[in-house]
Structures are given as structure tokens and as C-alpha cells.
Amino acid sequence: MAEITESQILAALRTVIDPDRKADVVSLGMVSGMAIRDGMVQFALEVDPKRGPSLEPLRRSAEKAVEAIPGIRSVTAVLTAHREASAAGGHGHAQGHSHGHAHGPAGAQAPGQGAGGQRALVPGVRHIVAVASGKGGVGKSTTAVNLALGLRANGQRVGLLDADIYGPSMPRMMNISGRPTSPDGKTLRPMENYGVRVMSMGFLVAEDTPMIWRGPMVQSALQQMLRDVDWGELDVLVVDMPPGTGDAQLTMAQQVPLAGAVIVSTPQDIALLDARKGLNMFRKVDVPVLGIIENMSYFCCPNCGHRSDIFSHGGARKEAERLGTEFLGEIPLDIEIRETSDEGRPIVVSTPDSPHAQAYLALAARVWEKLSGQGAGGSGRAAPRIVVG
């Protein structure tokens, strides 16, 4: 089968006419961020945010035009908002994005607007939990994977969304290869292993392919991985958030009906400063913080058993007390946790009786206890978690 080229895709998109501007989307310079791999195509359409609510049909038309190319397996088009062009002919990009509803300049929604618009994102999912950190390198993804597997081992129906678009790690950590299928050409079936349903941008692009996307494009892609994936009936969807507290993280916190967030930190002061920022971000957008977990809390020599507090110890517990949130536990720095994660055999499934796996299982049990104890009314947030049935 001949390789799909960018020229073929652009030719197809030249048949898609912007109804207001009376020209095709290619000539208008609306197409950006194109990625092509093995018949799978992703691209963005840059639009004026004021027109966002009316342009969902245009997005669908663009997808259909590309789907008609022989050899195309799937197409994902996203709308990304930009401000009007300046007098000098340039244009700036707004912080928000559009999927059939308008956002303000910073991508924020009024509380009532968010509540109504977001429930449809993931029907069938009872609770969405973010696993977040103020910075990278603290073991957030390892925590997210083992939390999800711990919830599954404890009897819950679980999904795992890899929201780290720039550095997706779930295909490797969950030992999943291949690509999602789409039975109807509109929604994707998540991949699955160890009884957990998983979606990641890593399934759609090669592992060494850089995602050179603007923030609004990332946000739109994340919404589509929620909205256009058939997650089915889940008790918990664990979201491995991007590290940091930038626009992508804030938009996820504002526009996804999160039941709560778990903050991951290491014990040293500099990491705790960043963890504090992450916690405060969620509080500012009324997302309940379920607690803080201290990762890489200590190191025990496997040969002599001597314990070393390489990154200090106990800082996250003290920070949790200071900030008035729960300390969820400590996970050591251990080679087995690292090796099993790298090999796609997370410790909760590879050695479930080990002390480290038991720590993750206890974490999962406590998170579920807090989620189920909140009741259908949620935390009082304007955009409560989705409760079906």
C-alpha cells in the first residue's frame, strides 16, 4: 500500500469550505500540526474562538474529506482557537480551544457552563482522578500506573488516560503495542492490558516522534481522547497529568469533571515547592485534593538492608499537614519498582505480595474510599464528577 502523503491530505482538505469566509481551509491557512503515521492522520484547524460554537460541522467535514482517501485508517481533527489577525498580518493564539463551545481568553469557563458541557465528555465514567505533580521526574507516571492497577486489583473497573502528550509513557509501562481500532469511524476503542483500559497519544505516533504542538492543540487532543474514546462503564478513570502547572494542566483541571487529584512529590524542599503549586492550582479551580504521596521516600540497600534518605524524608507528610490535606503514604526508591515499570510489568501485577505493591494497593484502597465516600453530590464543585445510573 502506497504511503499517505501530506500533499494528498491537503488536496482533500481543499474541498472543505469555511462557510463564513467562503474559501477552503488550506487556502485560508487554517491547517496546522499535521502528523501522519501508517494511515493514521492528525491535524488541527485554527479558528477564531468567537466562531468555535458553530464550527463543529466544519471539523467533521474535514475529517470526512481525509477519510475518503484510499488507505486512510483513522483521522483526528481538532479545533484550536486563535485571536483575530493583527494589523501587521500576524495572529496570536489564545490559551483556550474549541470543541463546539466557546472559551474565554484563558480557556476558563463559567461554573455553570462547565458543568453542563463536560458531563458528555466521558459518559459511563463515575469518577475521574488526576495524578499530578508540580514538576517532572518525581515518579508521577509510575504512581498513576500502579494506582490504576491497585484499583483494578481491589475490584474496581478502571481506565487509564495518558494525558502527557509530549512524553507519553503508558504504552511501554502497560506493555501495550498496536493501535486502537474504530468500529464506527467516529470513536476509538481503548487498548487494554492487566484488566485496565488505556488511551495514550503513544498509540497513535511513533515512540521517537516529537509532538510539536501548541498548547491549544494539546488541550483539544486531550478532550478528544476523553470524548471520542469508548471507555465503557468505569468506576474510576485515572489521568496521568502532564508535569507542571502550565496552561495544559490548568485547562484539564478546569474543563474535565475531576472527582479529585493525587499530588506526587519527592521529599526534598525544591520538589515540595512545586508540589505546593500543583495543589494550589487544583484548589483554585475547586478540584478536591485527595492527598499527597511521597515517592522515592527512602532507599534500603538490597544487600545489607541499610536505609538511606537520599532525597531527605518526611517532607511530603509535613507539607500535607501544613496545607491541611491527607498524607496518602510513602513509596521507597527501589530498583524493582523501576525495573518492573520499564519492562511493562508494574510491581502491583508482577509481585503483588511485595511490600511495595502492598503500599500501592493501600493507596488505591484509600483513594477509592475517599471517592465512594463523597456520594453522588460530589464535593460541591460546579462541574461535579460524572455519575451514571
CB 385 within 8 A of CB 126: yes
**How does DSSP classify residue 40?**
E
| Whether 187 and 101 share a structural domain | no
pTM of whole model > 0.75?
no
Go through 299-334 and write b for each residue having 16 or more CB atoms within 10 A of its CB, e for each that does not: beeeeeeeeeeebbbebbbebbeebebebbbbbbbb
Cell 474510576 belongs to residue = 236
User: In 3D, which of 30, 45, 37 has the Cα closest to residue 5?
Assistant: 37
Q: Count of domains in the chain?
A: 2
End residue of a domain, out of 77, 107, 137? 107
What's the domain range around 235?
Answer: 125-373
| Whether 41 and 150 share a structural domain | no
Hey, is 239 helix, strand or coil?
Answer: strand
Look at residue 368 in the predicted model and tell me its pLDDT. 94
Which CATH number does the domain housing residue 28 bear? 3.30.300.130
**How does DSSP classify residue 175?**
T
User: How far apart are the C-alpha atoms of 347 and 342, rounded to whole Å?
Assistant: 11
User: In 3D, which of 293, 251, 9 has the Cα closest to residue 144?
Assistant: 293
Look at residue 311 in the predicted model and tell me its pLDDT. 63
User: In 3D, which of 261, 316, 255 has the Cα closest to residue 288?
Assistant: 261
Could you tell me which residues come within 8 angstroms of residue 89 by beta carbon, excluding any fewer than 6 positions away?
Answer: none
Look at residue 1 in the predicted model and tell me its pLDDT. 54
| Whether 293 and 159 share a structural domain | yes
Look at residue 14 in the predicted model and tell me its pLDDT. 95
Look at residue 74 in the predicted model and tell me its pLDDT. 82
| Whether 272 and 164 share a structural domain | yes
Instruction: Report the C-alpha dihedral over residues 277, 282, 284, 287, rounded to 10 degrees.
Output: -160
**189 CA to centre of own chain:** 16
The verdict on residue 131 lying in a domain is yes
Look at residue 206 in the predicted model and tell me its pLDDT. 67
User: How far apart are the C-alpha atoms of 310 and 170, rounded to whole Å?
Assistant: 27
Q: What is the pLDDT along the chain (389 residues), one digit of tens a residue?
A: 578 889 999 999 999 999 989 999 999 988 887 888 778 888 888 887 777 668 888 988 999 999 999 988 888 887 776 433 333 333 333 333 333 333 332 333 332 333 333 344 677 899 999 998 866 678 889 999 999 999 999 999 999 999 887 778 899 999 998 888 888 777 888 999 999 999 988 887 766 666 666 666 677 777 778 888 899 999 999 999 887 666 667 767 777 788 888 988 887 656 566 667 777 788 777 888 898 888 887 677 777 777 776 666 776 777 778 878 888 888 888 888 888 988 999 999 999 999 889 999 999 999 999 998 743 333 333 333 323 23
Pairing of strands 158-162, 196-200: parallel
Look at residue 146 in the predicted model and tell me its pLDDT. 94
Residue 238 CB-half CA count within 13 A: 31
The verdict on residue 386 lying in a domain is no
Look at residue 248 in the predicted model and tell me its pLDDT. 64
User: How far apart are the C-alpha atoms of 153 and 211, rounded to whole Å?
Assistant: 33
Amino acid at 260: G
Hey, is 230 helix, strand or coil?
Answer: coil
The verdict on residue 82 lying in a domain is yes
User: How far apart are the C-alpha atoms of 357 and 150, rounded to whole Å?
Assistant: 8
User: How far apart are the C-alpha atoms of 131 and 143, rounded to whole Å?
Assistant: 8
| Whether 292 and 344 share a structural domain | yes
Cell of 35: 502528523
| Whether 308 and 365 share a structural domain | yes
| Whether 362 and 262 share a structural domain | yes
Pairing of strands 125-132, 260-265: parallel
Q: What are the phi and psi torsion angles at 297 (to 5°)? A: -65, -35
The verdict on residue 43 lying in a domain is yes
**How does DSSP classify residue 189?**
P
| Whether 52 and 135 share a structural domain | no
Neighbours of 375 (CB within 10 A): 9
